Amino acid sequence: MALGCNQWKPPSKGRYKVNVDGAVFAKIGCCGVGVVIRNEEGLLMGAMSKKVHFPLGAMEVEAMAMEEGIQLARDLGLKDIDMESDAQVVVLAVGGTDPGPCSIQKIVEGAKQGLSAFSSWSCSHVHRQSNMAAHLMAKEASNVQECLIWVEDTPSVIVSQIHMDVTALDSCPK
Protein backbone atom coordinates (compact mmCIF):
# COMPACT_ATOMS: atom_id res chain seq x y z
CA MET A 1 0.00 0.00 0.00
CA ALA A 2 1.45 3.35 -1.00
CA LEU A 3 1.37 6.05 1.62
CA GLY A 4 -0.21 9.34 0.67
CA CYS A 5 1.56 12.62 1.24
CA ASN A 6 -0.95 13.54 3.92
CA GLN A 7 1.67 12.09 6.25
CA TRP A 8 3.25 13.91 9.16
CA LYS A 9 5.82 16.47 8.00
CA PRO A 10 8.67 17.71 10.19
CA PRO A 11 9.03 21.33 11.26
CA SER A 12 11.79 23.46 9.78
CA LYS A 13 15.22 23.42 11.42
CA GLY A 14 15.26 24.74 14.98
CA ARG A 15 11.48 24.41 15.39
CA TYR A 16 9.30 21.79 17.07
CA LYS A 17 6.06 20.27 15.81
CA VAL A 18 3.35 19.89 18.47
CA ASN A 19 0.57 17.56 17.30
CA VAL A 20 -2.53 17.40 19.47
CA ASP A 21 -5.78 15.45 19.46
CA GLY A 22 -8.75 14.74 21.66
CA ALA A 23 -10.96 11.68 22.07
CA VAL A 24 -14.38 11.23 23.66
CA PHE A 25 -15.04 7.99 25.56
CA ALA A 26 -18.84 8.16 25.76
CA LYS A 27 -19.23 4.67 27.30
CA ILE A 28 -17.10 5.56 30.33
CA GLY A 29 -18.12 9.24 30.55
CA CYS A 30 -14.72 10.86 30.13
CA CYS A 31 -12.32 12.14 27.46
CA GLY A 32 -8.69 11.88 26.49
CA VAL A 33 -6.02 14.27 25.29
CA GLY A 34 -2.98 13.27 23.24
CA VAL A 35 0.14 15.36 22.55
CA VAL A 36 3.24 14.45 20.53
CA ILE A 37 6.16 16.87 20.15
CA ARG A 38 8.94 16.16 17.63
CA ASN A 39 11.96 17.93 16.19
CA GLU A 40 12.96 18.37 12.52
CA GLU A 41 14.35 14.82 12.39
CA GLY A 42 11.12 13.33 13.73
CA LEU A 43 12.69 12.51 17.09
CA LEU A 44 10.30 12.61 20.00
CA MET A 45 10.90 15.45 22.48
CA GLY A 46 7.82 14.78 24.59
CA ALA A 47 4.43 13.08 24.57
CA MET A 48 1.37 13.08 26.78
CA SER A 49 -1.69 10.93 27.29
CA LYS A 50 -4.14 12.54 29.71
CA LYS A 51 -7.55 11.42 30.90
CA VAL A 52 -10.11 14.17 31.48
CA HIS A 53 -12.54 12.89 34.12
CA PHE A 54 -15.64 14.68 32.89
CA PRO A 55 -17.62 14.38 29.70
CA LEU A 56 -16.91 17.02 27.07
CA GLY A 57 -18.02 17.38 23.49
CA ALA A 58 -15.57 16.60 20.72
CA MET A 59 -14.79 20.26 20.01
CA GLU A 60 -14.22 21.08 23.68
CA VAL A 61 -11.76 18.21 24.18
CA GLU A 62 -9.95 19.17 20.95
CA ALA A 63 -9.55 22.72 22.32
CA MET A 64 -8.33 21.31 25.63
CA ALA A 65 -5.79 19.17 23.71
CA MET A 66 -4.46 22.35 22.07
CA GLU A 67 -4.08 24.02 25.47
CA GLU A 68 -2.36 20.95 26.97
CA GLY A 69 0.04 20.73 23.99
CA ILE A 70 1.01 24.37 24.46
CA GLN A 71 1.60 23.79 28.18
CA LEU A 72 3.77 20.70 27.56
CA ALA A 73 5.86 22.59 24.98
CA ARG A 74 6.33 25.43 27.51
CA ASP A 75 7.26 22.94 30.26
CA LEU A 76 9.91 21.47 27.94
CA GLY A 77 11.37 24.95 27.45
CA LEU A 78 10.72 25.09 23.71
CA LYS A 79 10.68 28.52 22.09
CA ASP A 80 9.62 28.02 18.44
CA ILE A 81 6.68 25.70 17.83
CA ASP A 82 4.25 24.69 15.10
CA MET A 83 0.93 23.50 16.52
CA GLU A 84 -1.09 21.01 14.46
CA SER A 85 -4.57 19.61 15.00
CA ASP A 86 -7.17 17.88 12.87
CA ALA A 87 -9.89 20.05 14.48
CA GLN A 88 -10.27 22.92 12.02
CA VAL A 89 -12.65 25.01 14.17
CA VAL A 90 -10.15 24.94 17.06
CA VAL A 91 -7.21 25.78 14.77
CA LEU A 92 -9.10 28.77 13.36
CA ALA A 93 -10.06 29.94 16.85
CA VAL A 94 -6.53 29.64 18.28
CA GLY A 95 -4.61 30.78 15.20
CA GLY A 96 -6.97 33.45 13.92
CA THR A 97 -9.25 36.23 15.03
CA ASP A 98 -12.51 34.22 15.13
CA PRO A 99 -13.00 33.19 18.79
CA GLY A 100 -14.95 30.08 17.75
CA PRO A 101 -18.12 28.76 19.40
CA CYS A 102 -18.81 29.99 22.93
CA SER A 103 -18.27 26.46 24.34
CA ILE A 104 -14.52 26.70 23.59
CA GLN A 105 -13.85 30.43 23.99
CA LYS A 106 -12.41 30.25 27.53
CA ILE A 107 -10.14 27.34 26.57
CA VAL A 108 -9.03 29.17 23.41
CA GLU A 109 -8.31 32.26 25.53
CA GLY A 110 -6.05 30.13 27.76
CA ALA A 111 -4.32 28.60 24.74
CA LYS A 112 -3.65 32.03 23.20
CA GLN A 113 -2.28 33.29 26.51
CA GLY A 114 0.03 30.25 26.67
CA LEU A 115 1.28 30.92 23.14
CA SER A 116 2.45 34.39 24.16
CA ALA A 117 5.37 32.74 26.01
CA PHE A 118 6.91 31.49 22.74
CA SER A 119 9.35 33.39 20.52
CA SER A 120 7.36 32.22 17.49
CA TRP A 121 4.47 29.88 16.83
CA SER A 122 2.07 28.79 14.14
CA CYS A 123 -1.19 26.87 14.24
CA SER A 124 -2.29 24.67 11.33
CA HIS A 125 -5.06 22.27 10.43
CA VAL A 126 -3.91 18.86 9.19
CA HIS A 127 -5.63 15.68 8.05
CA ARG A 128 -6.11 12.90 10.60
CA GLN A 129 -3.45 10.83 8.79
CA SER A 130 -0.89 13.57 9.50
CA ASN A 131 -1.94 13.62 13.15
CA MET A 132 -2.09 9.88 13.81
CA ALA A 133 0.51 9.74 16.61
CA ALA A 134 -1.42 12.34 18.65
CA HIS A 135 -4.67 10.51 17.85
CA LEU A 136 -3.22 7.26 19.23
CA MET A 137 -2.04 9.08 22.39
CA ALA A 138 -5.54 10.54 22.88
CA LYS A 139 -7.10 7.08 22.55
CA GLU A 140 -4.51 5.67 24.96
CA ALA A 141 -5.80 8.09 27.64
CA SER A 142 -8.68 5.68 28.33
CA ASN A 143 -6.04 3.30 29.77
CA VAL A 144 -4.26 5.79 32.04
CA GLN A 145 -5.20 6.78 35.57
CA GLU A 146 -4.67 10.55 35.23
CA CYS A 147 -1.80 11.71 33.02
CA LEU A 148 1.36 10.15 31.64
CA ILE A 149 4.15 12.25 30.17
CA TRP A 150 7.16 10.94 28.27
CA VAL A 151 10.26 13.10 27.73
CA GLU A 152 12.72 12.02 25.03
CA ASP A 153 11.26 8.51 25.26
CA THR A 154 8.70 7.06 22.85
CA PRO A 155 5.54 5.49 24.33
CA SER A 156 5.07 1.93 23.07
CA VAL A 157 1.62 2.79 21.69
CA ILE A 158 3.15 5.11 19.05
CA VAL A 159 6.53 3.48 18.31
CA SER A 160 5.42 2.00 14.97
CA GLN A 161 3.52 5.19 13.98
CA ILE A 162 6.58 7.36 14.65
CA HIS A 163 8.72 4.95 12.63
CA MET A 164 6.18 4.99 9.78
CA ASP A 165 6.03 8.80 9.82
CA VAL A 166 9.81 9.17 9.65
CA THR A 167 10.16 6.47 6.98
CA ALA A 168 7.47 8.16 4.84
CA LEU A 169 9.39 11.46 4.83
CA ASP A 170 11.59 10.22 1.98
CA SER A 171 8.61 9.24 -0.20
CA CYS A 172 6.76 12.60 -0.15
CA PRO A 173 7.88 15.69 -2.05
CA LYS A 174 9.11 18.52 0.18
- Show the domain range for 58: 16-169
Closest by Cα among 174, 85, 74 to 124: 85
User: In this structure, which long-range contacts are made by residues 92-99, counting pairs with CB atoms below 8 Å and at least 24 apart in sequence?
Assistant: 92/125, 93/63, 94/63, 94/66, 94/123, 95/122, 95/123, 95/124
First to last CA, the chain: 21
Closest by Cα among 165, 143, 145 to 154: 165
Residue 150 maps to a domain: yes
Q: What is the pLDDT of residues 27-70, one digit of tens each?
A: 999 999 999 999 999 999 999 999 999 889 999 999 999 999 99
Residue 157: partners with Cβ closer than 8 Å, 6 or more residues away: 49, 136, 137, 140
Total domains in the chain come to: 1
Do residues 32 and 58 make contact, with C-beta atoms less than 8 angstroms apart? no
Residue 10 maps to a domain: no
CATH number of the domain residue 70 falls in? 3.30.420.10
Q: What is the pLDDT of residue 173?
A: 60
Residue 3 maps to a domain: no
Residue 158 maps to a domain: yes
User: Can you tell me the distance from the alpha carbon of 85 to that of 130, in angstroms, rounded to the nearest whole number?
Assistant: 9
Q: What is the DSSP letter of 53?
A: S
Q: What is the DSSP letter of 26?
A: G
Residue 6 maps to a domain: no
Residue 136 maps to a domain: yes
Q: How many CA atoms lie within 13 A of 6 on its CB side?
A: 9
Q: What is the pLDDT of residues 125-143, one digit of tens each?
A: 999 999 999 999 999 999 9
The answer, yes or no, to whether residue 120 has pLDDT greater than 80, is: yes
Residue 8 maps to a domain: no
Residue 48 maps to a domain: yes
Q: What is the pLDDT of residue 3?
A: 43
Q: What is the pLDDT of residues 60-114, one digit of tens each?
A: 999 999 999 999 999 999 999 999 999 999 999 999 878 889 999 999 999 999 9
